[in-house]
Amino acid sequence: MIKTTTLKDLLNTSVEQYPNRPVLYKSFDKYDTYEELKNKIISLMAGMLEYKLQGKNIAIIGSNSYEWALSFLTVSCGLGISIPLDKELTIEELNNTLKQIKIDCIIYSDDMNQKIADIKKSYKDILYISMNKKEKINIYDLLEKGKKKFSTGNTFFNDLVVKEDDLVAYIFTSGTSEKSKIIMLSQKNLATNAYGAAELFELKVTDKFFSVLPIHHTYEIVSSILVPMTSGASACFNSGIKNFKKDINLNQPTIIMAVPRILEFICSSIEKEIKKQNKEKIINMLINISNFFLKFKINLKKLFFKPIHKNLGGKIRMLGCGAASLDVDVLNKLADFGYSVHQGYGLSECSPIVTTRGIHYKDADSVGVPIAGTEIKIINKDKSDIGEIIVKGDQVMLGYYNNDFLNKQVIKNGWFHTGDLGYIKPSGCLKIVGRTKNIILSSNGKNIYPEEIEALIVNSPYIKEAIVKGKKNNNKLLVIAHIVLEPDYCNDSSIEKKITSFIADINSTLPSYKHINKFIIEKEEFPKTTTLKIKRW
């Protein structure tokens, strides 16, 4: 693997190594090769240069698609600064975004037409480029104009100077807080992060990544578009969560980068189908037999569970998981069915991947080891060696836009202070336990990590979601669990009794200061980010 430190060089290197391999799929049977993609990037860039967009701020908003990826790569390979925006933002939120940072151009997909029409009323000086051929200014017409103006061998692209420290993207992140921060990422941040993550896996040129997470997220951009490009692999796109099964069966991907909720959905769908067919006993027997043979490095799972795999395209060999903690039980169940699951940890501020459990790391109850070129430390440890995780490496952001005060707080001597808590296990892998701002301080001065207790609560078949909070009552701390029921149990008259018993079982495994004193059943699901993390506050 030849490493580069800019996205332009990543593209050029990949074209030299894999010119005729598929890279981006437009549909399940149509794709661009690496060489074709480079030619289109040059043509689209040339067409956009006619509008004097060199070095300008260019927002991209829309559904996961070939057009979105082409637009992002064109902007990021030397044209300007990309600003990926969440397509779920309301008009008010979009207007707020436009107030925070000057945007010169917006490239948008068809499903954004109404929102764009509303924005145009207030922002007439922005250039609006559609991903749809029917609109007056669209990327396909610009491709044709650029193609006529410049031949693929024209020197303008070759002469384009792109430096590793150049700002390449503004990333809006709300995390779980209400106020967005704007992260500034460099060419080196994104390029080295993609190579570093790819190194922990033995990727093949025949691998096809399935882009299903919101594409404006750095996690999705890097893991499902840039990582495959480092290794001659390809990417295809899910047209919407309602089309998940249809698209996965048409495209037959080999790798899916997901979040816990998607893997939980896959796991529960498999279990429901097994139960529906009354095959629990035979499946459990096959799991035991196949696990026995694995001890001798004989893998029979793809053979034994062929119908299960066929239901998800039939070719998946790896599932990645990030953005939140995956229940180890879900991971183990998927492994029992023959799916290799690899959990990682990252933050948008770190471009975003920090650690991942690569193919040679077997510690399932962890988020793996640092990717190449990354250092992590645990500071301010408590008696259990739990402390704040800090990160150093080429992926650490340039800083937050227009926020020197916060930059000085979070980046010290090159180390990014994540605000996440964890410890290094004997295996050398990192274990995450929570966030510094979520810690509940018990009356005897000991730390309670709500995420640790929440992970135990959602193991219940009755409970879909949980948030644990601390509340002072007459100088005594109460640990309170707010829970959302699984739909099947919402009308169960004995549900409170069942949950009381379940909570008692959890408390029996915990020290007294961590005991859950009360639970509250919420009527609605908790609000979430676009990567399906609960917004705690």
Same domain, 294 and 176: no
124 part of a folded domain: yes
Looking at the fold, whether 414 and 452 belong to one and the same domain comes out as no
Confirm whether 531 is domain-assigned.
Answer: no
Has residue 530 been placed in a domain? Answer: no
Pairwise CA distance, residues 266 & 327, whole Å: 13
Residue where a domain terminates, one of 381, 408, 435: 435
pLDDT of amino acid 511: 84
Q: Which residues pair with 106 in a beta bridge?
A: 59, 128
User: Does 214 share its domain with 130?
Assistant: yes
Please write the tens of the pLDDT for every residue from 275-296: 888 998 999 999 999 999 988 8
Answer whether residue 428 is part of any domain.
yes
Q: Is residue 527 part of a domain?
A: no
Domain final residue, candidates 236, 254, 272? 254
Report if residue 31 sits inside a domain.
Answer: yes
- pLDDT average, residue stretch 81-97: 91
Q: Domain containing 455: what range? A: 439-522
Q: Are residues 142 and 72 in the same domain?
A: yes
Question: Are 326 and 467 found together in one domain?
Answer: no
pLDDT of residue 417: 96
In this structure, are residues 466 and 484 in contact, taking their beta carbons and an 8 Å threshold?
A: yes
283 and 175 in a common domain: no
Number of folded domains that form the chain: 3
Residues 334 and 422 in one domain: yes
Tokens of 482: 């707010």
Query: What does the DSSP assignment read for 95-150?
Result: HHHHHHS--SEEEE-GGGHHHHHHHHHH-TTSEEEESSTTSSSBHHHHHHHHHHHS
- The CATH number linked to 362 is 3.40.50.12780
Instruction: Identify whether residues 450 and 427 lie together within a single domain.
Output: no
Residues 164 and 247 in one domain: yes
pLDDT band at 234; cut points 50, 70, 90: very high
Q: What is the CATH number of the domain that holds 509?
A: 3.30.300.30
- pLDDT for 178 equals 43
Write out pLDDT tens, residues 166-213: 999 999 986 433 467 899 999 999 999 999 999 888 899 999 999 999
Residues 150 and 294 grouped into a single domain: no
Per-residue pLDDT tens over the stretch 124-159: 999 999 999 888 999 999 999 998 877 655 678 888
- In eight-state DSSP terms, residue 528 is B
Residue 325's pLDDT band, with cuts at 50, 70 and 90, is confident
Q: Note whether 515 and 431 are same-domain residues.
A: no
Flag whether 361 is in a domain. Answer: yes
The domain boundary residue, chosen from 229, 254, 279: 254
Task: Please answer whether residues 170 and 101 qualify as being in contact, where contact means their C-beta atoms are separated by less than 8 angstroms.
Answer: yes
Q: What is the CA radius of gyration of the chain?
A: 24
Percent of the chain with pLDDT over 90: 57
Residues 162 and 216 in one domain: yes
Helix H, strand E, coil C: the string for 141-185 is HHHHHHHHHCCCCCHHHHHCCCCCCCEEEEEEECCCCCCCEEEEE
Classify 74 as helix, strand or coil.
Answer: helix
With cut-offs at 50, 70 and 90, classify the pLDDT of residue 384: confident
- Structural domain includes residue 532: no
